[in-house]
Amino acid sequence: MCKRAPNWDNLDPIAGGQLVKRRKTKDYYQQQRMKGLTDSDLLASHILAKVWSVMRRPEDSPYQKAIQTACVAVSIDPSGIYVGSNYLSKSMVTSAAVQGILQAEAPGCYTQNVAIADNSDDKKHAEMQVVEKLWNVYKNAQEIKNARLFIGVSKPCCPRCAKVLDLLGIVYTAKHADEPDNWEPPNIPGLM
């Protein structure tokens, strides 16, 4: 980590991230996804993998469904590292856990405070939890756009999350076309 910052030349903050086709072959999806990953995407994926490795039980089918829906989102700016997660226990995704991962995997790269978003509602996707945290820092849509923020996600954003990120000018690497079963917008007045 610390070497793969967002490539602003290849990401259009207005049009959104690359559309990945998850229904093609597994190899095709993985190749497409790996092309544009940034440090933030890798950190989000790493947090998900570390937390999942602690709680997984491969023999239990509910856990298999959970890993398919679990997601972690990360945004890093000078004031902090903001982390959101859905379908993961609050006791697992903590500031201390994220700090531990950062120190183990990228010592000295990130010195900002870690802020964990409230994940008490599984309908609020990880990206939207991070957007709420960022809103508390920047206070309005124009400030968020001016900050040229990037959000890393452990899997491609759903169309609804992508729409909100596009409205706020937050850059992300990938989205998919499947409508989610559960989704709730961020608690931001007048956004939607």
Residue 30 near residue 137, CB atoms below 8 Å: no
Q: What is the C-alpha to C-alpha distance for residues 114 and 63, in angstroms, rounded to an integer? A: 27
Spatial CA neighbour of 82 closest among 121, 58, 116, 127? 116
Specify the pLDDT at position 22: 56
Widest distance between CA atoms in the chain: 48
Model pLDDT, residue 152: 93
What's the pLDDT at 169? 93
The whole-angstrom separation of Cα 140 and Cα 159 is 22
The crossing angle, in degrees rounded to 10, of helices 159-168 and 126-138 is: 20
Q: Which residues contact 12 (CB under 8 A, 6 or more apart)?
A: none
How are beta strands 114-116 and 80-86 bridged, if at all? parallel
Tell which residue, 180, 186, 79, has the closest CA to residue 130: 186
CA pair distance 151, 13, nearest whole angstrom: 11
Low-confidence residues in the chain, pLDDT < 50: 1, 3-15
pTM over 0.85: no
What is the per-residue pLDDT for 127? 95
